[in-house]
Amino acid sequence: MNFSEQRDEQLVEAAQNGSQQALETLIARHQAAIYRFIRKMLWSAEDAEDVTQEALIKIVTHLGGFEGRSAFRTWAIRIAANHALTMKKRAVEGRVLSFDHYAEKINACPDQAMPDTGDYDMDPWVLAEEAKQSCVRGMLMCFNREQRAVFALGAGLGLSSNQAAGILDMRADAFRKKLSRARAELKKFMDGQCGLVNPNAPCRCPKKTKAFIQFGVVDPNKLTFNPDRRAMADDEAGKWSGTKDEWLALFRDAADSAVPDFIIRLRPTITASLRKGPPH
């Protein structure tokens, strides 16, 4: 049977009847969306992988509780969101207390010339892209967990207000207000600070790259925010056309790096769960 061609509801039914292949196909289909949501909740890629794996284990072991009242992806992301909102506090959380505090930390990094090409055996614009993406993720850490979840669902995954509100167990109008406030607060900060969005703002990623390396934010030997080694364009500050909300592309880009495949890690859990009997 070719499970890859089956709809989610068919895969769920087969998995609930004990099919490991159906369950693995279901997880493989939706792991990227769950990881990208979690990735916006956390600064560290390592933490995001750990938390995503924990969330996927909950999805596997609670599959019997899925009754088809919503799309499977909505149900799965709700489990992931609940886990992310209640998980143990991570190391970076609390280091950034507000957008004002974050601006102070960035401004404390002195402007310097770009690293030389031979300094790290790497295109310096790759390092500038790493600095950019680390900074973009740092901005999200200025939000509390609920604000991050609202922003990740509405502006990151692009879910409708009804879908996202259902995931976060709030009214759709309340979700829209929270998302609007989060976007306005983030845009206000970037207009005043970020040269990518406002050419008149003081901060430029290339000028902060060397300081980010010196302070340990960027590790040239281990690119975690830019694993594909995508080079930042040297004219990036001038590429924005001013279209409404175009700046949000910065946050979508930061979530679109390679997604780990969690199936091998989860297989022991999946096998053990099915050995206990179909997850009804």
List, in order, residues 6 or more apart from 61 with CB less than 8 Å away: 269, 273, 279
Instruction: List C-alpha distances in Å: 63 to 37, 166, 254.
Output: 20, 18, 30
185 — pLDDT class (breaks 50, 70, 90): very high
199 — pLDDT class (breaks 50, 70, 90): confident
Is the distance from CB of 139 to CB of 190 less than 8 angstroms?
A: yes
pLDDT of amino acid 76: 96
Q: Is the model's pLDDT at 278 over the cut of 60?
A: no
pLDDT of amino acid 156: 86
Question: 194 pairs with which residues across the strands?
Answer: 203
Instruction: Give me the phi and psi of 194, to 5 degrees please.
Output: -100, 120
Highest mean pLDDT among 57-61, 117-121, 258-262: 57-61
Is the distance from CB of 193 to CB of 103 less than 8 angstroms?
A: yes
Q: Is the model's pLDDT at 35 over the cut of 70?
A: yes
Dist CA 60 CA 90 (whole Å):
24
Instruction: List C-alpha distances in Å: 178 to 49, 153, 185, 245, 250.
Output: 27, 12, 11, 16, 20
pTM assigned to the model: 0.88
Among 159-163, 165-169, 263-267, 273-277, name the one with the lowest average pLDDT: 273-277
Instruction: List C-alpha distances in Å: 234 to 15, 27, 174, 231.
Output: 50, 39, 40, 9
Query: What's the average model confidence in pLDDT over 92-97?
Result: 69
Highest mean pLDDT among 86-90, 150-154, 241-245, 265-269: 150-154
* Domain range list for the chain: 3-275
Euclidean distance between the first and final Cα of the chain, in Å? 22
Query: What's the average model confidence in pLDDT over 132-148?
Result: 93
Among 20-34, 45-59, 198-212, 234-248, name the one with the lowest average pLDDT: 234-248
